[in-house]
Structure 1
Amino acid sequence: MLLKANAHVTFKDAVRDLPAALRGVVPNHIPYSIWQLVEHIRIAQHDILDFSRNPDYKEPDWPKDYWPVATAPDSEAAWKHSIEQVDKDLHAFVGLLETSKDLFAPFPHGTGQHLFREAILLIDHNSYHVGEIVALRRFLGAWG
């Protein structure tokens, strides 16, 4: 579920071939752009990864540190970097799962959380926001 979507759309599919002109569009009555969703996925996923592997983890401020202010990427390079970082961090998280000896062992630095819980959180969070990206693309006439 982390790397394959089966009947659902993957993150890579959701952002593939999105015209640059639509990345920063914030439609009426919608609180964010596709760029802001992509960045939020990147930031939140990195936070989950960091919490899962870093005993010195420091929690970012919610919601300030989880949502970008800019509605559009400042360059094509920024767009590509964000997408590549989502993929890189996702594979790093899968690596944690593959090498874990006990998915249910509580993190010493947490309050009962364990790697399995963080995997479910990551699946749930990413799939929710990928669905929003697809819905926005449909609304903007840039899907299917």
Structure 2
Amino acid sequence: MHDNQLIRQQLAQLLQKSNAHADLETALKGLDIKSTSIKLPHLPYTIWQLVEHLRITQQDILDFSEHKNYKPLDWPKEYWPEETTPANEQEWEYSLAEINKSLNAFTNLINDENNDLLKPFAHGEGQNLLREAILIIDHLSYHTGQIVLIRRLLDKWEE
């Protein structure tokens, strides 16, 4: 297998499924919607806010990676929801579906051999597809760990 194909394959695998720890699906499995809205002392966010932040940020990275006319969001205001709870079950399900949708779309970018993983984007400051893939993987892993920690503190995590 060519090195470039191997890199694409491994990046796509990391985008779609965790290796060393819980992935987002596992971290959220069996969680009731009420628990997504509990704000613990000394923590700045709820599980809902983390999930929405993941949705917003992943879509932003996808948009940046796909579009030359990218318009950046205002950090941090537009990356974090103010609401501590989803409006309803449909909003919760929508957010989860959109996270998967953006991950799948980004994985397709990685798998497309017409996309040079190392070529800097014309509209960026040296960023490239490889860097953005690593950013999504790192960001998703970091916040998934936070979700697991909150669930542990809520005594709602089963290993």
Fold in common (TM above 0.5): yes
- Map of 2:55 onto structure 1: 42
Give, in angstroms, the shift of residue 24 of structure 1. Answer: 0.6
State the alpha-carbon separation in 2 of the partners of residues 113 and 8 from structure 1: 27
Higher Cα Rg, which structure: 2
Runs of 4+ residues over 4 Å off in structure 1: none
Identical pairs, percent: 50
Map of 2:133 onto structure 1: 119
2:30 — aligned with what?
17
1: distance between equivalents of 2:157 and 2:77?
Answer: 30
How far did residue 8 of structure 1 move? 1.2
2:99 corresponding residue in structure 1: 86
Q: In proportion to residue count, which structure has more helix?
A: 2
Q: TM-score when scaled to structure 1?
A: 0.98
Task: Find 1:67's aligned residue among 80, 87, 91.
Answer: 80
**1:77 corresponds to which of 90, 101, 115:** 90
3-state SS, counterpart of residue 52 of structure 1:
helix
Q: CA deviation at 1:12?
A: 1.0
Unaligned residue ranges in structure 1 (runs of 5+): none
Structure 1 residue 31: deviation in Å?
A: 0.6
- Describe the SS at the equivalent of 1:23: helix
Partner of 2:151: 137
Q: Give 1:7 deviation, angstroms.
A: 2.3
RMSD: 0.8
Counterpart code for 1:60: L
TM-score normalised by L of structure 2: 0.89
Unaligned runs of 5+ in 2: 1-13
Once residues 71 and 100 of structure 1 are traced to their aligned partners in structure 2, the CA distance between those partners, rounded to angstroms, is: 41
Matched positions, count: 144
* CA positional deviation for 1:84: 0.5
Name the CA distance, whole Å, in 2 between partners of 1:8 and 1:135. Answer: 12
User: SS at 1:45's partner residue?
Assistant: helix
CA distance in 1, matches of 2:33, 2:50: 15
Q: How far has the Cα of 1:138 moved from its partner? A: 0.5
